[in-house]
Structure 1
């Protein structure tokens, strides 16, 4: 398991993508089955968020609906079309979809620009949760590969083949931990946008928006510029100082 883990370390990103459900087209039937299964789970969570009509809900019903809503937001993206075939894929899709969304940011586009501006406490939180996610994903794949190899190697030995269950159990436990780590990672991304999004405007020399609607408009324009190269049509706002001053720019 140690040797396999070392060999898999350079493949960290492909391993995460694999467990997210980004699979080849030739296994599209398996992908479609996984998506249907995940959508059924989404539907059950969505049904639990509804309160019974006609009577005042009890505190337990309100609590149940609230917990279901939190779970739905943490484990599934906002649109059914974005559903992935695995639990890990949906937890990370929810993180990408919801981080900064209420402010008009497209998180996968804006995150590489925001990350260098994070304060040390938030950066440490984000890095720690991402490291836990990567480590548990690697442990899950390592356990799975070693478990399958153990089945083949121990098959002729009779009852000794049951030892192969040990790495398979480790793989299953590590996968569940990876899903929990992905949810925690998504929460840290949302916190980063909440606390540091205004620092992007200063770094980009863009005027601070005055209202929430203006903020969403500016953020959507910036994301379109980064994603598609659309002209911003804005004027830069440089900090005051010797030789500094506002100047026209795209």
Structure 2
């Protein structure tokens, strides 16, 4: 048990350093350098720097400076993580109030117009190439009628809509049971995709902090905006990939879920009737 706890402590310490202290130290160093270049120095640091250069700084002051630097780096890392969680929430489009409703309505109007153009071209017997282009234009907005103000939010919402239409399954209640029955390799791939999205949100958190630090030194502003843009691109790709993988898991293992709940699947394929029965079981009247 002692060996296990020691190893766990080492792993947690390593993650704490890699996730918080190292990027936090880089951020703190960037702000300090920017401040010194902008205004000359931090208030009151001239004597300490001179003492260090001349070897007259006491061990206590050096230790205090080192501890203070680590604490500042950790604080910056925690702040970036909190900002990343806020970005995560914004990306998934869970916005209350009229702003979210207005943006959702706008996205729905664009999607309806794209869907109407696709249906009209289909009725007119347009070529497969034309239909594919129109479908691509519609799917760039969302894979199903939008219900969220953001593309990333609709990537998740469309998953539930598409599974509900195709299989009659309530994915919100069915997914935890399906997850438990997935092969280890499938769960590993899903975990990696989810982690990629979370990492993108964390990078966006750092981008926001660097953009705000542009008020101290202007080059940090563009660097933060570039980081934020990169995070958005990575986040869109990661959430789209995660939604596709989750839908694929339902396609490939939905029958196993029904069977494990004692619901027969005669042809090996989940029909809407079977899906609704699965939903009835997993919801338990809720």
Q: Which residue of 2 aligns with 1:242?
A: none
Output the CA distance in 2 between the equivalents of 1:172 and 1:152: 19
Query: Aligned-pair distance for 1:199?
Result: 1.7
Q: Say which is worse superposed, 180-189 or 5-14, in terms of deviation.
A: 5-14
2:92 corresponding residue in structure 1: 20
Kept in 1, the 8 Å contact 2:167–2:270? The answer is no
Deviation, 1:85, is 1.3
Q: Given the alignment, which residue of 240, 243, 246 partners 1:186?
A: 243
- Structure 1: segments with no counterpart, 5+ residues: 155-160, 232-250
The answer for the alignment partner of 2:105 in structure 1 is: 36
- Report the TM-score when normalising by structure 2: 0.63
Max radius of gyration: which structure? 2
Query: RMSD value over aligned CA atoms?
Result: 3.2
Alignment equivalent of 2:255, drawn from 179, 183, 198: 198
Comparing 105-114 with 34-43, greater Cα deviation is found at: 34-43
Q: Within the alignment, does 1:62 sit opposite 2:131 as a pair?
A: yes
- Partner residue of 1:177 out of 212, 216, 234: 234
Unaligned runs of 5+ in 2: 1-19, 25-75
1:182 Cα deviation after fit: 1.1
Q: Structure 2 vs 1, CA of residues 12 and 144 (structure 1 numbering), >3 Å: closer, same or farther?
A: closer
Q: Cα–Cα, structure 1 residues 62 and 76, in superposed 2: closer, same or farther, change >3 Å?
A: closer
Alpha-carbon distance in structure 2 between the residues aligned to 1:66 and 1:89: 20
- SS where residue 215 of structure 2 aligns? helix
Quick one: distance in 1 between partners of 2:182 and 2:122? 45
Give the Cα–Cα distance (whole angstroms) in 2 for the partners of residues 164 and 120 of structure 1: 43
**Residue of structure 1 aligned with 2:188, choices 124, 135, 138:** 124
Question: Which residue of the other structure, out of 267, 273, 278, is the alignment partner of 1:217?
Answer: 273
Task: Give yes or no for the alignment of 1:90 onto 2:134.
Answer: no
CA distance in 1, matches of 2:235, 2:183: 25
SS in 1 for 2:159: helix
Per-residue CA deviations over 1:161-199 (Å, capped at 9, x if unaligned) read: 243111112112211221121111111011101111122
8 Å Cα contact 2:82-2:205 kept in structure 1: no
Aligned: 1:115 with 2:179: yes
Tell me the distance in 2 between the aligned counterparts of 1:69 and 1:223. 30
Distance 1:76 1:214 in 2: 21
Equivalent residue, structure 1, for 2:118: 49
Deviations 1:6-65 (A, max 9, x none): 555478766523322223x4xx23223322332243235324423447864235313313
- Check whether the contact 1:130–1:181 (CA below 8 A) recurs between aligned residues: yes
- TM-score under structure 1 length normalisation: 0.71
Q: Residues 111, 134 of structure 1: CA spacing in aligned structure 2 closer, same or farther, 3 A cutoff?
A: same
For 1:172 and 1:201, locate their aligned partners in 2 and report how far apart those are by CA, in whole Å. 42
